Amino acid sequence: MIVPGSSSQLLAAALAEETGRPLATATYDRFPDGERLAAVPEFDGREAVVVATTDSDEAWVELLQLQDAVREAGAEHVTTVIPYMGYARQDESFGEGQPVSARAMAQAIGTGTDRVVLINPHEPAVGEFYPVPVEAVDAASVLAAPLSALRDPLFLAPDQGAVEIAATVRDAYGSGETDHFEKHRDRETGAVDLTPSDAAVAGRDVVVVDDIVATGSTMSEAVDVLTDRGAERVVAVCVHPVLVGNATTKLRAAGVDRIVGTDTVERGCSVVSVAPALAEALATDALAGEG
Ligand code: R5P
């Protein structure tokens, strides 16, 4: 059965449809003291695929509970799909006395599962923190589908780290150039400073592609530079539209034409699904626990 975390209900349903597997109805409750209780009252099966984006601390707790609940209900094999893995950007200790948070989360989750599937993790190396086999699925090519009739398009990565993902979206779109900016982020304030390339953007449609839009600082800074330079339309595209706080407003204020994301984080702009890419990954023998 496919078991949804509360933040991934639409994606889990899409995955159930895509794979033909039954969808479990999970429940998400709270006790008066604030403690959570996620459960799967009618779980029935030998194999569970728990699908849960961990974009909040609550979601991590819920995921641990769902993993344990399906074992308790008789699952012999558990696959954990984390469409968007929170804490993945804390993949090293950035200062004295700081934890490697991604490792701590991975080790906790790893105790309740046989396998993990991640979608476009910020750094693929984060998979090495899990004590079980991990597959990282690259679903970025789906982001090209909602883009149509772009004028002389430029696919732009706002920093070096997004160069590959921008190329993937460009290739899936089928035409256009690629380029990237350089980024510096002040760790104290979170402020982003971009050094633009000298690409000519006037009169062109520019698609800015990143893996994550969180506070929107990176993306809005890029949109701002591009609109200043006369880009015709600027479309913001990302795999994980986390969009915390006022991120959407910042993007609109900077002049973005459209925000496009996937359903790894379920938001209004999640117009394409990673379910087909996930279904393909789950179809492999190794992931189905049949190997
Ligand atoms: C960082 O390297 C990532 O690729 C994204 O650029 C970053 O996580 C976006 O964060 P924010 O939206 O807070 O600027």
Averaged pLDDT for residues 9-24: 98
Q: What is the rounded distance in angstroms from the CA atom of residue 67 to the CA atom of residue 52?
A: 10
The 10s digit of each residue's pLDDT in 219-241 is 999 999 999 999 999 999 999 99
Distances (CA, A) of 206 to 42, 82, 114, 240: 48, 30, 42, 19
- pLDDT beyond 90 at 138: yes
Answer yes or no: same fold for 2-139+274-283 and 141-272: yes
From the list 77, 122, 183, 250, the catalytic residue is 183
The domain ranges of the chain are 2-139+274-283, 141-272
CATH code of 2-139+274-283, in short, is: 3.40.50.2020
| Any atom of ligand 1 within 6 Å of the Cβ of 214 | yes
How far is it, in rounded angstroms, from Cα 124 to Cα 204? 33
Band (285; pLDDT cuts 50, 70, 90)? low
Q: Would you say the CB of residue 210 lies under 6 angstroms from ligand 1?
A: yes
Q: Mean per-residue pLDDT for 125-140?
A: 97
Amino acid (one-letter) located at 286: A
Mean pLDDT across 126-147: 97
Has residue 118 got a pLDDT over 60?
Answer: yes
Burial class (CB in 10 A: 0-12, 13-18, 19+), 167: middle
Find out whether the beta carbon of 220 lies less than 6 Å from any atom of ligand 1: no
User: For residue 290, what pLDDT band results from cuts at 50, 70 and 90?
Assistant: very low
Average pLDDT, the chain: 95
pLDDT at 189: 86
Closest C-alpha among 207, 61, 87, 197 to residue 147: 207
| 291 — pLDDT class (breaks 50, 70, 90) | very low
The better pLDDT of the pair 287, 125 is held by: 125
183 a catalytic residue? yes
289, pLDDT greater than 80: no
Count CA atoms within 13 Å of residue 39 on its CB side.
Answer: 6
Taking 60 as the threshold, does the pLDDT of residue 14 lie above it?
yes
Alpha helices in 20-154 (DSSP H): 57-72, 101-110
Ligand 1 pocket test, pick from 218, 220, 223, 248 with the greatest ligand atom count within 8 Å of Cβ, gives 218
Spatial separation of the C-alpha atoms in residues 15 and 18, rounded to whole Å: 5
For the segment(s) 141-272, the CATH number from 3.10.129.10, 3.40.50.2020, 3.20.20.10, 3.40.630.10 is 3.40.50.2020
pLDDT band at residue 9 under the 50/70/90 scheme: very high
pLDDT at 54: 98
- CB environment 126-158: b (16+ within 10 A), e (fewer): bbebbebbbbbbbbbbbbbeebeebeebbbbbb
Compute the average pLDDT of residues 101-118: 98
Work out the angle at residue 121's Cα, subtended by the Cα atoms of residues 287 and 163, and round it to the nearest 5 degrees. Answer: 125
Residue whose CA lies nearest to ligand 1 atom number 7: 212
**Looking at residue 125, what DSSP letter applies?**
G
Of ligand 1's atoms, which has the minimum distance to the CA of residue 221? 14
* Closest ligand 1 atom number to CA of residue 217: 14
Q: What is the mean pLDDT of residues 138-160?
A: 97
Render pLDDT for 41-94 as a digit per residue (tens, 0 to 9): 999 999 999 999 999 999 999 999 999 999 999 999 999 999 999 999 999 999
Is pLDDT of 279 > 80?
Answer: yes
- What is residue 198's predicted lDDT score, i.e. its pLDDT? 87
Residue 210 has φ and ψ, to the nearest 5°, of -135, 165
Question: Which of 139, 210, 206, 141 is CA-nearest to residue 172?
Answer: 141
Residue among 118, 116, 61, 123 nearest 92 (CA): 123
Residue 287, pLDDT > 70, answer: no
Confidence band for 120, pLDDT divided at 50, 70 and 90: very high
Are 237 and 260 in contact by the 8 Å Cβ rule? The answer is yes
The pLDDT of residue 196 is: 85
